[in-house]
Amino acid sequence: MNQPIRIVLAKVGLDGHDRGIKVVARALRDAGMHVIYAGLWQTPEAVVRVLADEDADWLGVSLLSGAHMTLVPRILDLMREAKLEHVGVMVGGIIPEADVPKLHAMGVARIFGPGTSLDDIVAFLKEPREPKP
């Protein structure tokens, strides 16, 4: 069935730069997705709670604070605890190249850095996935 993709977009930790995530939110909305905007200064615990209650297909977190190697593993751990491994995770923002393979190894599906075209993000999210358990 052609059901809209449900994606939670959140800024985690002490990071007030939300222009990028709002632009992405608009692009995904216009691509026919249901975007749940969780906003700024979220804790990993709060984000995982949103994923559960919203029965999301995807999580998009944006980090420009440099805290990604602390916060992203924490989110992934909490997602496993909450039995939400089926939710795909994408990360956007300023992620140094050296950290990209490490985040992939932890289970992040895709990392989008500066200069990414919105079409690429939309196309990536619309790739066929295994149905939810």
Our finding on whether 118 is near another protein (CB under 8 A) is: no
Nearer to another protein, 25 or 95 (CB): 25
**What residue type is 15 in one-letter code?**
D
Instruction: Out of 34, 67, 73, 118, point to the residue binding another protein (CB under 8 A).
Output: 34
DSSP helix/strand/coil, 66 = coil
Task: Return the range that interacts with another protein (CB under 8 A); candidates 68-76, 82-90, 100-108, 110-118.
Answer: 82-90
Contact (Cβ atoms closer than 8 angstroms) between residue 65 and residue 11? no
Nearer to another protein, 43 or 116 (CB): 43
CA torsion, points 22, 17, 65, 54, in degrees to nearest 10? -40
Question: Can you state the percent helix, strand and coil of the chain, rounding each to 5?
Answer: 40, 25, 35
Our finding on whether 31 is near another protein (CB under 8 A) is: yes
Nearer to another protein, 32 or 113 (CB): 32
